[in-house]
Structure 1
Amino acid sequence: MRFNSSLVLRAAVLASLSGGVAQAQDVVRIGHVAATSGVIAHLGKDNENGARMAVDELNAKGVLIGGKRYRIEMLAEDDAGDPKQGTTVAQKLVDAKVRGVIGHETSGTTIPASKIYFDAGIPQISPSASNPKYTRQGFNTAFRNVANDEQLGAALAKYAVQTGKARQIAVIDDRTAYGKGVADEFIKNVKSAGQGARVVTQQYTTDKATDFGAILTAIKATKPDLIFFGGMDAVAGPMLRQMKQLGMPLRFMGGDGMCSDSMARLAGDGMADGQVICAEAGGVDAQQQKGMDDFRAAYRRRYGIDVMTYAPYAYDAMHAMVAAMQQAGSTDPAVYLPALAKVRHKGVTGVTAFDARGDVKDGRLTLYTFKSGKRQRLSVIQ
């Protein structure tokens, strides 16, 4: 019997191609979106790094869903913290037929993007967007695994009035969905706190501003004993430097957007020990601390830098989404969405589980200050 070499070669090529198709069918694509360019790129990259660590771990162990092995492929997109770009990349991920999305990072991009994912039936977990509106739109595809601004604002107002004894409070926000949202919640809770505390002035800036002379001068005239800022560290740091230049050694308070390890670098010599108080939407108790410490050590080995803020939450969000697929035995969003709504995933940030709105159950907050250029934990509250 004679061998036909051309037929053998053709058969080998076809086998190779069919193997490639089979492999492609074994891939599940999950999107990740954050601001990896612009003034808060350091925070966005932190989120992306955390999600990527989860993907690499899952693939190394092997992901079995419905009796079939899958490889997770993360499609990372940059929304630059811009709502318009956020909706553009959201549609791009829908067109790429992702099975879920981790993100977006900021409330201002998460909220408009969530409508696109909802219309496409694609589940979304934000590990850092805290504006309450996100989970109050009636979208059953929208989840978050951090506390929201209502909790942040209430905790910071209580600390300012009861512990800090602040009575004359100035408020600044950057007019973003996040900055305005957390500032509004803070103001509401100051007004209900009593004890003579009141907001003496409210000023506005932008998330790209660099000159705060006019608003700080206006604030100085009201003689406050505390300034609350709703915005990100990229603005808060320079604002602190300018406060020092104007002779305003006031206590400075804000939410998670300015609660990063980068604050000391951005503020330079403008931040005194204990001057800044901030709250991060998340936190672990003593029993969970070892898991968080191990994650931080692994992150440092992998990337050569420390965790900024929400990398552990992006990490847990990715694991929770894949766990829901495994529980449902399917990567089809319509099939695994009910499992995601009921998921209980034990991760480095605690148990990820959602209430009827999609908010994290038993959300914790961590209060921090800064001393000797380092962030120091004050307390974890729930």
Structure 2
Amino acid sequence: MRLRAILSACLLAASLAPPAHSQTVVRIGTASPLSGPGAHQGKDIENGARMAIDDLNARGIVIGGQKVKWVLQPEDDASDPKTGTAVAQKLVDAKVAAVVGHLNSGPTVPASKIYANAGIPQISPAATTPLYTNQGFKTAFRVVANDNLVGSTMANYAITTLKARKIAVIDDRTAFGQGLADEFIKGVKRAGAASGASIVSRQFTHDKATDFNAILTQIRARDPDVIFYGGMDAVAGPMLKQMKALGLRAKMVAGDGICSEKLPLLAGDALGDDKVFCVVAGGVSGAQEAGFNAFNERYRQRYKMEVQTYAPYAYDATMVFAAAMQKAGSVEPAKFLPTLAQIKHEGITGTIAFDPKGDLRNAALTLYTYRKGKKTKLQVLR
């Protein structure tokens, strides 16, 4: 009888005790090419975000009195604008709290309207077209510099450091490639007035092209010092091979689309030393390098491969979302979005804070070349 009374008392006490933290699921979407020529870059974004998700789950974060289980939902936009909008709608329908993506500017811009209409915040770890943040959407952010800065920086570098006077330009007609090439040309016109540098040829290809002999033959006749390419590494690699076969001595200058660890495999012995110069629309220096390098080593150990380009930025984008949710005390997009817009977060890619458009404040650029088949850092600019 006494045992029964004790058991009853225990059950009553348990029913009256405050409940342990219940669990809520927060789903973060990623959108990037997981198929096609850009799949290695798109998988890099997924991998970076997944490392962040695992780190968040390991911390046992509580938001609004509930322990959070973080879940990643990766989607393949195939670097295609039409597929990108379908992926965006799929993520909206899945009720994701936020989206890390897209990689390419082409899918990023139309997808951003779908996220904006649904009130879901989006941080791109890679898209650089100014149009993305010029649309006025309160949900659109990025953690890299935009094409205005990249184009002008590479124009100045080509003219001032590489001493280029005759410059040819090729782009792949995507929103990213064409937009970046246009900004580069503006930069040449501004910086070239005093030096005598000029654009001697403007040529076009497409993002799945493999034969460049016709346009390179036309360029060879102008004997340029530098060829600027607006596009991705999957095209730049074969283009470099054909440049070598045609005897083109020009150096290649480009943005972050070609600035990957895979370029040496794609270009082979046509890569050379100090022949290709590219800029990544982000970067760290000084005391921040230790954390960045530690992340790269963790990535290498986990995935048995090198970071391509964007994994650290996808990691930081995911962490920024989590920081905004924690500060706002809510995982609801409508409640943490205002906090996100005002966030200041120390990430592995540097200090992350956004201007009123959603662009990264005080954005960094990192210049690279290739030597002995390895991507080699030259300098960080702000």
TM-score tier (shorter): over 0.9
Instruction: Give percent identity, aligned residues only.
Output: 59
d(CA) in 2 for partners of 1:26, 1:337:
19
d(CA) in 1 for partners of 2:79, 2:354:
25
d(CA) in 2 for partners of 1:24, 1:170:
61
| Residue 52 of structure 1 pairs with residue 50 of structure 2 | yes
Corresponding residue of 1:15: none
d(CA) in 1 for partners of 2:272, 2:300:
27
Corresponding residue of 1:295: 295
d(CA) in 2 for partners of 1:62, 1:187:
50
The Cα shift of 1:172 comes to 0.1
d(CA) in 2 for partners of 1:119, 1:204:
35
Q: How does 1:20-169 map to 2 (within 5 A)?
A: 26-169=24-167
Secondary structure of the corresponding residue to residue 125 of structure 1 = strand
One-letter code aligned to 2:174: T
> Displaced runs of 4+ in structure 1, greater than 3 A?
22-25
The Cα shift of 1:81 comes to 0.3
The Cα shift of 1:315 comes to 0.2
d(CA) in 1 for partners of 2:320, 2:78:
25
d(CA) in 2 for partners of 1:266, 1:298:
25
d(CA) in 2 for partners of 1:24, 1:238:
54
d(CA) in 1 for partners of 2:261, 2:367:
13
d(CA) in 1 for partners of 2:22, 2:226:
57
One-letter code aligned to 1:42: H
The Cα shift of 1:93 comes to 0.5
Corresponding residue of 1:325: 325
One-letter code aligned to 1:371: R
Secondary structure of the corresponding residue to residue 145 of structure 2 = coil
One-letter code aligned to 2:280: E
Post-superposition Cα deviations, 1:18-55, rounded to whole Å, max 9, x if no partner, equal xxxx9996101111111011001000001110000000
d(CA) in 2 for partners of 1:80, 1:365:
27
The Cα shift of 1:350 comes to 0.8
d(CA) in 1 for partners of 2:34, 2:286:
32
Corresponding pairs, count: 361
d(CA) in 1 for partners of 2:121, 2:32:
16
Secondary structure of the corresponding residue to residue 360 of structure 2 = coil
| Residue 178 of structure 1 pairs with residue 179 of structure 2 | no
d(CA) in 2 for partners of 1:340, 1:140:
10
d(CA) in 1 for partners of 2:262, 2:286:
25
d(CA) in 1 for partners of 2:55, 2:169:
43
Structure 2, unaligned stretches of length 5 or more?
A: 1-19
Corresponding residue of 2:6: none
d(CA) in 1 for partners of 2:341, 2:36:
33
Secondary structure of the corresponding residue to residue 175 of structure 1 = coil
Corresponding residue of 2:364: 364
Q: Quick one: structure 1 residues 177 and 23, their matched pair in 2 at CA, closer, same or farther if it must change by over 3 Å?
A: farther
TM-score, length-normalised on structure 1? 0.93
Instruction: Work out whether residues 23 and 66 of structure 2, in 8 Å CA contact, stay in contact via their aligned partners in 1.
Output: no
d(CA) in 1 for partners of 2:317, 2:62:
18
Secondary structure of the corresponding residue to residue 199 of structure 1 = strand
Structure 1, unaligned stretches of length 5 or more?
A: 1-21
d(CA) in 1 for partners of 2:277, 2:23:
49
Corresponding residue of 1:347: 347
Secondary structure of the corresponding residue to residue 26 of structure 1 = strand
Secondary structure of the corresponding residue to residue 208 of structure 1 = coil
The Cα shift of 1:62 comes to 1.1
d(CA) in 1 for partners of 2:60, 2:320:
15
Corresponding residue of 1:239: 239
One-letter code aligned to 1:193: A
One-letter code aligned to 2:310: Y
Post-superposition Cα deviations, 1:313-339, rounded to whole Å, max 9, x if no partner, equal 000000000110111111111110000
d(CA) in 2 for partners of 1:134, 1:324:
21
d(CA) in 2 for partners of 1:293, 1:258:
21
Instruction: Work out whether residues 23 and 67 of structure 2, in 8 Å CA contact, stay in contact via their aligned partners in 1.
Output: no
Corresponding residue of 1:10: none
Instruction: Work out whether residues 125 and 142 of structure 2, in 8 Å CA contact, stay in contact via their aligned partners in 1.
Output: yes
| RMSD, aligned α-carbons | 1.2
Instruction: Work out whether residues 328 and 336 of structure 2, in 8 Å CA contact, stay in contact via their aligned partners in 1.
Output: yes
One-letter code aligned to 1:189: G
d(CA) in 2 for partners of 1:182, 1:324:
31
Secondary structure of the corresponding residue to residue 309 of structure 2 = coil
d(CA) in 1 for partners of 2:235, 2:202:
17
The Cα shift of 1:67 comes to 2.1
The Cα shift of 1:249 comes to 2.1
Secondary structure of the corresponding residue to residue 257 of structure 2 = helix
One-letter code aligned to 2:74: A
Instruction: Work out whether residues 282 and 349 of structure 2, in 8 Å CA contact, stay in contact via their aligned partners in 1.
Output: yes
Corresponding residue of 1:284: 284
The Cα shift of 1:269 comes to 1.2
One-letter code aligned to 2:67: R
d(CA) in 2 for partners of 1:65, 1:175:
45
Q: How does 1:269-280 map to 2 (within 5 A)?
A: 269-280=269-280
